[in-house]
Amino acid sequence: MYRGRLAPTPTGYLHLGHARTFALAAQRAQAAQGQLIYRTEDLDAERCRPEFALAALEDLRWLGLLWHEGPDVDGPHAPYTQSQRRGYFLKVWQLLHAAGSIYPCDKSRQDVARALTAPHAEHDAEPIFPPSLRPPLGHGRDLIQPDGTNWRFRVPDGETIHFEDRLQGPQAFVAGKDFGDFLVWRKDGFPAYELSVVADDHAMGISEVVRGADLLLSTARQILLYRALGWPEPHWAHAPLVVDAQGRRLAKRTAGLSIRELRAQGRTPAEVLTAPVGTLLS
């Protein structure tokens, strides 16, 4: 059974890029006669707002997308709002901790910046965590809860992570070169994106992850988490990013391109989903 998902982060109104990626996810679920799960990824308490979470549900309904499970329709894997799933994420932290895959890390952004020996990864804003700042193996094994400090996943330096993307073709990223030890738990007491998304895609039985191509590098990190946890990986399908006539990525804040605003201008769902981007900008 195909199970796909829509996983918006409610830090603002959804834009044209979201609309098209989510519509593709819905089409793929429908074509496979599968199910679609809607999950609100609101773990960033400072930036996420309930009104954006509601607006996202409403905008995607307006576009005609249908999901079978979600915060507004319930389902067997409830709750579908990540801020209510901390207890489960904590169990996943425990599994990674027991496997010796992660370590507590009190280095600040400044420490990391100062010790940086590698250049920033080309496709990703996150600097590569310098191996010189890693604690010795086994550090933190005696801790029984994650809170109060950041935790990172120790990547296997030099190993190439390969995966087949159903839309972008074969992919390869090198651990320690394209990305470094990444955050799995934040000192504010909540999991970081890579942990929460893997934990929930697994718990919700997701068979194919459809999302924007800006997350290809994250997929390599997530594959390492699946392996450390001994969980089967889903299939991957990264949608091409929506760009304007100059080839620039559309950002959430690009004026006039939130679904809300397009609706207010009288655009139809079909136009939002299929019209050339240039015609929607005018």
Under the criterion CB under 6 A, does residue 258 sit at the interface with ligand GLU? Answer: no
Under the criterion CB under 6 A, does residue 101 sit at the interface with ligand GLU? Answer: no
The two tokens of residue 247 are 């080839």
The two tokens of residue 81 are 């709002």
Nearest CB to ligand GLU, comparing residues 105 and 199: 199
Nearest CB to ligand GLU, comparing residues 40 and 150: 40
Nearest CB to ligand GLU, comparing residues 8 and 146: 8
Nearest CB to ligand GLU, comparing residues 36 and 197: 197
Nearest CB to ligand GLU, comparing residues 105 and 197: 197
> What DSSP line would sit under 223-242, residue for residue?
HHHHHHHTPPP-EEEEEPPP
Cβ partners under 8 Å of residue 77, min gap 6: 37, 69, 203, 204, 205
Under the criterion CB under 6 A, does residue 14 sit at the interface with ligand GLU? Answer: no
Under the criterion CB under 6 A, does residue 9 sit at the interface with ligand GLU? Answer: yes
CB 244 within 8 Å of CB 279: no
Q: Which of 14, 19, 128, 197 binds ligand GLU (CB under 6 A)?
A: 197
* Segment lying near ligand GLU (by CB under 6 A), choices 7-15, 100-108, 174-182, 224-232: 7-15
Cβ partners under 8 Å of residue 125, min gap 6: none
* Segment lying near ligand GLU (by CB under 6 A), choices 6-14, 42-50, 116-124, 139-147: 6-14
Under the criterion CB under 6 A, does residue 25 sit at the interface with ligand GLU? Answer: no
Which residue number places its CB atom closest to ligand GLU?
A: 211
Q: How many CB atoms lie within 10 A of CB 70?
A: 21
Cβ partners under 8 Å of residue 39, min gap 6: 5, 6, 7, 70, 71, 80, 81, 82, 200, 204
Q: How far is the CB of 215 from ligand GLU (least distance, A)?
A: 6
Nearest CB to ligand GLU, comparing residues 81 and 107: 81
* Site track for ligand GLU across 35-54, x = CB under 6 A: ------x-------------
Nearest CB to ligand GLU, comparing residues 48 and 273: 48
Q: How far is the CB of 79 from ligand GLU (least distance, A)?
A: 16
Under the criterion CB under 6 A, does residue 228 sit at the interface with ligand GLU? Answer: no
Under the criterion CB under 6 A, does residue 7 sit at the interface with ligand GLU? Answer: yes
Q: Which of 215, 242, 259, 272 binds ligand GLU (CB under 6 A)?
A: 215
Under the criterion CB under 6 A, does residue 211 sit at the interface with ligand GLU? Answer: yes
Under the criterion CB under 6 A, does residue 4 sit at the interface with ligand GLU? Answer: no
Distance of CA 61 to the CA centre of its chain: 21
- The runs of H, that is alpha helices, within the chain are 16-31, 50-62, 86-98, 109-115, 193-203, 216-229, 259-264, 269-274, 277-281
Task: Look at the block and give the residue holding tokens 């094994």.
Answer: 141
Distance of CA 223 to the CA centre of its chain: 13
**Residue 3 host element (H or E):** strand 3-6
- The Cα–Cα gap between 95 and 228 comes to 9
Point out which residues bind ligand GLU (CB under 6 A): 7-9, 41, 197, 211, 215
